[in-house]
Amino acid sequence: MQIVGGGVDVAEYALPGSEELAVNAVLALGTKNAVLLANHGLIGTAKTIAEALTICRIVEKTAHVTVMARTLGSVPELSQDDVKKMRDFYLTSYGPGLKGERSQ
């Protein structure tokens, strides 16, 4: 997923509002723009709230499509090289960079 930066990882569970949950989320997030908090839900990160909401919508839709596709058979994953190429393209040519949000 170009806008996310790859597959969405799951952060280890911790109590709501705890520092441990925040640390787990940051560790699982890494350089990506989305993370699933075990037993809590999805977090999308971006420079703007609108872009973070778009990220969350794309992750949710992708999860739904993946679950539905798996009912029909296996779902092949993209190679890490392809994910990196698409992410780079999104950041430099296709995505928010066209509007100047990621320039500089």
Confidence of residue 14 (pLDDT cuts 50, 70, 90): very high
- Full domain range(s) for residue 31: 9-78
Of the candidates 21, 57, 23, the residue with the CA atom closest to the CA atom of residue 39: 21
Question: Which tokens hold the place of 56?
Answer: 């969350």
Q: What is the pLDDT of residues 29-47, one digit of tens each?
A: 999 999 999 999 999 999 9
How many distinct structural domains can be found in the chain?
1
Q: Is residue 13 one of the residues assigned to a domain?
A: yes
Q: Is residue 3 one of the residues assigned to a domain?
A: no
Q: What does the angle CA 96 – CA 101 – CA 104 come to, to the nearest 5 degrees?
A: 115
Q: Which DSSP category does 97 fall into?
A: G
Q: What is the pLDDT of residues 86-102, one digit of tens each?
A: 878 877 876 654 444 44
Q: What is the DSSP string of 33-67?
A: SEEEETTTEEEE--SSHHHHHHHHHHHHHHHHHHH
Q: Is residue 2 one of the residues assigned to a domain?
A: no
Q: Is residue 86 one of the residues assigned to a domain?
A: no
Question: Which tokens hold the place of 97?
Answer: 């960079």
